[in-house]
Amino acid sequence: MKSLILVAVGLLALQEVENPDYKRWATFKAGSWVRFKSEIENGGNKLAVPLETTMTLLEIDEKQAVVEEQIVNTMQPKDSPKQEKPKKRTLKATRKAKEGETKEGDEEIEVGGKKLACHWTEVSGPSGSVKTWVNPEVPGAAKIEVGLPSKGVQRLTATAWEKK
């Protein structure tokens, strides 16, 4: 009996669940993109970070999405060799279940000069938290906040996007 329970627990740990990172791109066509500004907040102090992140959906099917992430240091010329090279991320439609507390809700936020009704999800764990706001008109996400163990927050807020 004890070994049966251990097997059941092991199978639950291996269970595939819907990947929210994939789901945020699943309704868009290749070529859709979103651009973010970055800021860090710690102890009530906000600091704009001179980075502009653009995520572009390159490929999408029922099994995966391929997203290119381009981070540009706005203090450097765009063609500077010091700029980061674009990175491709493959987001599988499913992933292994992760531990952590999940909260959800709805909230109107302002991004890109527009007020948008968004659904948010927050996942918390021992190493911090991630809160993501989504809207059906914005590819990927409208806003992302990463809560750090130091109580600081790294925030990406959409400034522009195109839905294909």
Write the CATH number for 120.
2.40.360.20
Q: How far apart are CA 118 and CA 5, in angstroms?
A: 40
Alpha-carbon dihedral angle through residues 106, 59, 164, 52, given to the nearest 10 degrees: 70
Q: Which domain holds residue 127?
A: 17-77+86-162
**How far is Cα 64 from Cα 58, in angstroms, rounded to an integer?**
11
CA distance 136 to 25: 10
C-alpha distances in Å from residue 77, one per residue of 9, 18, 73, 74, 80: 53, 40, 8, 7, 5
Report how many domains make up the chain: 1
Q: Given pLDDT bands bounded at 50, 70 and 90, which one contains residue 15?
A: confident
Which pLDDT band, with edges at 50, 70 and 90, does 22 fall under?
A: very high
Given a cut of 90, is residue 148 above it in pLDDT? no
CA torsion through residues 100, 101, 106, 110, sign: negative
Establish if 46 belongs to a structural domain: yes
Q: Give domain status of residue 135, yes or no.
A: yes
Q: What is the pLDDT of residue 150?
A: 73
Task: Output the pTM of the full model.
Answer: 0.83
Whether 9 is covered by a domain: the verdict is no
Q: What integer pLDDT is reported at residue 97 of this predicted model?
A: 75
The pLDDT score that the predictor gives to residue 14 is: 53
Number of CB atoms found within 10 A of residue 28's CB = 22
| Domain annotation covers residue 7 | no
**Does a structural domain hold residue 117?**
yes
Q: Is residue 51 part of a domain?
A: yes
